[in-house]
Amino acid sequence: MKRFLVRLTAAVLAAALLLPLAGCTQGSGVNSFTWFVEELPTNLDPQVASAVSDVIACTNLCGGLVRLDAEGDPQNDLCESWSVSSDGLVYTFRLKEGLTYKATRGEATSYAITAEDFVYAFQRIFSPETRSPYAVEFSAIEGGSAALAGLADPSDIGVEAADSLTVVFTLTEPDDNFVHKLALPGAMPCDEEFFLSTGGSYGLTSDTTLSSGSFYLYNWTSGGLFLRRDVSGGLIDSLRLVQNTGSAQSAQDLILNERCTAALDDTSTPTSLRSVRYSDTTWCMLFNSQHPALSNTLLRQALVSAARQATSLTVDTSIYQPASGLVPEGLSVGSVDYRQTAGDPAPDLGNAYVLYRGARQTVTSSDLMGITILVPESAGLTQAVESINSVWQRELSLFFSIEEVPDETFDARMADGEYTIAIAPVTCTDGSVYTLLRSFGPDGLCRYDDVGYETLLTQSTTAANSTVRCQLLAQCERQLLAEGLVLPLFAQQKRLLLADGVEGLVFDPYGPVLDLTWTVKN
């Protein structure tokens, strides 16, 4: 899918970033950039990489046919040209000559990068044994869905090498974002001979990893993953992915003390640093549909309808702004802007009291006992919840206890489904509207188990084009809201702080992509 990318320059900082990192520190003797990640990279196999740090590593280690620029447009990477048939079903890419893989510490290898490597990469994507997260993105490739379902051999998919430097893709239907998707890690080359030689450990160790991108793997230890490249002119030549040590310093202090060049910050503390606001998180009121009372749709709808009357909620407006829907703004489905296309998903549920009286036909007073509102201590939303509680008391004669708990306790209880009503963050972790909505399944948020909802989600993965896929996902979002399972409240405002001197850094706020191909540090 086409995602919103930005190139950060010393003069312009105009986009968002979704990466769980605290910042970057200078290395010793090299023009380095260090990012603190929540978890160290564990898998550098691009066809299966999905964890944030794994995707970041693969983005810089591996080259694709194309690479997205600052505007999110595909540019030549390992290919020198490409063409598309008039019907939009055949894509032909011509590789650059003389490309080879690099081993650890930049050592030359005898493995040439050829068209066959891209063919094999896609055969792996559509092999059921691989369980590649990228298969859904390339569902338009001829024979892909059948191979994934075990109904055809992956070698029969519509990806072939016309010669050693020419890759041809054949689609069953046009995909207006196909070339953009070829910048995803899953579309990066895989040498079959080297893959088989690793005996099942491909991308899991330094010795079983090859580089086809701008950086090569220099070292991979329990202390972090270290990438390097041979460049000049101020370009970053060392990328270090290390674990956040939990420094008590604020993001601003890390930068001002020169321990860090850029950092994410979710506070509203005044700063002289360059900053850009973004939102990847919608704070919502969630209802556990497995609870005896809250399994009643009318009761949930009554609570949501009444809660909407609490129009003046006291919050820190520098952090929280009214949500425009469950899915954050800025996400795309293919080339289609999701929020713009889906519109306002809030349904008209009707009169809260009428809904409540209907629910009380089957919901008893004892069923309502024990309902509480779970809130994380750090959110700063307790006063807003009290306002909603007051509306429920006024309109429905209901009043629930508020449980404000430490964040760790909150996270554990949400993961175990041990809540009735919760004020919780719904965060887009990978840029996919589908993934966000999928998190509301039977074992996820709200414990929602509905065949119709699951069918819509499944249909969206095989939709004919981005517009149809977007419409199906919008139906899913509206269904969640119409069923009273979730009430979007606030879009949390965050910011990226950046020191002077860094230019050419490309981020995808929802990828996640951290691409240092063109990055310099002065």
- What pLDDT digit, counting tens, does each position of 396-424 carry? 999 999 999 999 999 999 999 999 999 99
Residue 6 has pLDDT above 60, yes or no: no
Residue 463 — very low, low, confident or very high, per pLDDT cuts 50/70/90?
confident
Cα dihedral sign for 347, 349, 352, 356?
negative
Cα dihedral sign for 148, 151, 153, 158?
negative
Residue 27 has pLDDT above 90, yes or no: no
- Mean pLDDT, to the nearest integer, of 31-59? 91
Residue 473 has pLDDT above 90, yes or no: yes
Q: Rounded to an integer, what distance in angstroms lies between the CA atom of residue 201 and that of residue 198?
A: 5
Q: What is 278-494's CATH superfamily?
A: Dipeptide-binding Protein; Domain 3 (3.10.105.10)
Residue 35 has pLDDT above 50, yes or no: yes
419 three-class SS: coil
pLDDT score, position 254: 77
Buried b (16+ CB within 10 A) or exposed e, 127-153: beebebbbbbbbbbbbbbbebbeeeee
471 three-class SS: helix
- Mean pLDDT, to the nearest integer, of 21-33? 53
Length of the chain: 522
Please state whether 69 falls in left (phi above 0), alpha (psi between -120 and 50) or beta.
beta
> For domain 6-249+499-521, which CATH number applies: 1.10.10.10, 3.40.190.10, 3.40.50.720, 3.90.1200.10?
3.40.190.10
Write out the two tokens for 73. 């447009």
pLDDT score, position 295: 96
Contact 404, 419 (CB under 8 A): no
Upstream peptide bond of 512 is cis (omega within 30 degrees of 0): yes
pLDDT score, position 386: 95
Residue (of 37, 4, 11) closest to 263 by Cα position = 37
CB atoms < 10 A from the CB of 389, how many? 19
Residue 364 has pLDDT above 60, yes or no: yes
Buried b (16+ CB within 10 A) or exposed e, 464-502: ebbebbbbbbbbbbbbbbbbbbbbbbbbbbbbbbbbeeb
Work out whether strand 262-265 and strand 66-68 pair parallel, antiparallel, or are unpaired. unpaired
Residue 12 has pLDDT above 50, yes or no: no
Q: Rounded to an integer, what distance in angstroms lies between the CA atom of residue 62 and that of residue 83?
A: 23
pLDDT tens sequence across 151-169? 999 999 999 999 999 999 9
Residue 509 — very low, low, confident or very high, per pLDDT cuts 50/70/90?
low
- Mean pLDDT, to the nearest integer, of 79-106? 97
| Percent of all residues in the chain with a pLDDT value above 90, rounded to a whole number | 62
pLDDT score, position 519: 86
Contact 237, 32 (CB under 8 A): yes
Contact 181, 3 (CB under 8 A): no
pLDDT tens sequence across 369-381? 989 999 999 999 9
Residue 116 — very low, low, confident or very high, per pLDDT cuts 50/70/90?
very high
Helix-strand-coil split of the chain, %, nearest 5? 30, 25, 45
Contact 162, 484 (CB under 8 A): no
Residue 232 neighbours by CB under 8 Å, 6+ apart: none
Q: What is the mean pLDDT of the chain?
A: 88
pLDDT score, position 204: 97
Residue 335 has pLDDT above 90, yes or no: no
Annotated domain spans of the chain: 6-249+499-521, 278-494
